[in-house]
Amino acid sequence: MTLAVRIDAMARGDAASVAALDGPTRMDEAHVQEEAERPWTRAWVAREESGGLVGYVITWHVTDELHVLNVATHAARRRQGVGRALLAAAVDYARRARCRHVLLEVRRSNAPAIGLYRAFGFFAMGIRARYYADDEDAIEMVLLLDPETGSVVTHPDEVRLEGTEAH
Ligand SMILES: CC(C)(COP(=O)(O)OP(=O)(O)OC[C@H]1O[C@@H](n2cnc3c(N)ncnc32)[C@H](O)[C@@H]1OP(=O)(O)O)[C@@H](O)C(=O)NCCC(=O)NCCS
């Protein structure tokens, strides 16, 4: 089932809802606001028809790269196409801005996120050993875009991801 959502640029007033959606452990309201105000930040939110915020994505646009800092869907609205719609907004922006790479780090155990990125054509470029505070490895994933046509350039994984299907 696909949830009908509208994707909008993140607005000033969204920080509290974004922080609430993320739970207490990730980005608090001040942190979301700080990210939203950086000149190089591009961020979008997903809203239900009722106006309720059900997801967000925050990216940094630096030269010809778009770096995805986080993408999240409300826990009760997952697997209904929200994450895909948000990432599509970010990738569409990258195409319009003629970026060559969309980059991100993801926990090795985060099969839902890795599945989402795979669906867009991201490949595994490297491993950052014990990148997270709890010592879990990060997988660096990249989507290559042709800056002229905006089409995805397919690329095989450069590292093996054994163990990522475990959760
Ligand atoms: C990762 C996350 C954003 C996905 O959002 P979502 O709204 O549930 O994703 P979608 O419904 O748009 O799924 C799109 C595709 O991603 C993949 N995917 C999503 N959830 C998946 C899961 N649990 N297992 C495997 N693949 C999954 C599938 O390919 C899916 O397409 P399909 O449903 O047609 O098979 C969501 O699980 C989330 O918020 N997780 C917590 C925050 C997080 O870990 N963010 C990533 C930080 S790097």
Q: Output the ligand 1 site: residues, CB below 6 A.
A: 70-73, 78-84, 104, 106, 110-113, 115-116, 119
* pLDDT at 102 > cutoff 80: yes
Q: Which residues pair with 6 in a beta bridge?
A: 47
pLDDT, tens digit, for every residue of 106-156?
999 999 999 999 999 999 999 999 999 999 999 999 999 999 999 999 999
Centre of ligand 1 from the C-alpha of residue 90, in Å:
15
The phi and psi torsions of 52 (rounded to 5 degrees) equal: -65, 140
* pLDDT at 96 > cutoff 60: yes
Atom of ligand 1 nearest to the CA of 116: 16
The phi and psi torsions of 64 (rounded to 5 degrees) equal: -100, 25
Q: Nearest 10 degrees: CA dihedral of 73, 75, 77, 81?
A: 40
Alpha-carbon gap, residue 150 to 97, rounded angstroms: 9
Coil/strand/helix, residue 100? coil
Helix, strand, coil shares, percent, the chain, to 5: 30, 35, 40
Pocket test of ligand 1: the residue of 7, 22, 79, 142 to mutate, having most ligand atoms within 8 Å of its CB, is 79
* pLDDT at 163 > cutoff 70: no
